[in-house]
Amino acid sequence: MRSAHALKQSQPAKPWREHVANAWLFEKLRNAMRNDVIRFAYVKNDGSTREARGTLCPKYIPVKAQPKGNYENEGEDEPLRFNYYDIDSLWWRSFYIDAFIDILE
For 48, phi and psi rounded to 5 degrees?
-80, 160
Where are the extended beta strands (E) located within 1-105? Answer: 38-43, 49-55, 81-86, 91-96, 100-103
pTM of the shown model: 0.80
| pLDDT digits 0-9 by tens, 44-98 | 999 999 999 999 999 999 999 987 766 555 545 677 888 999 999 999 999 988 8
Show Cβ contacts of residue 65 under 8 Å, excluding neighbours closer than 6 positions. 85, 90, 91, 92
For residue 14, which amino acid is it?
A: K
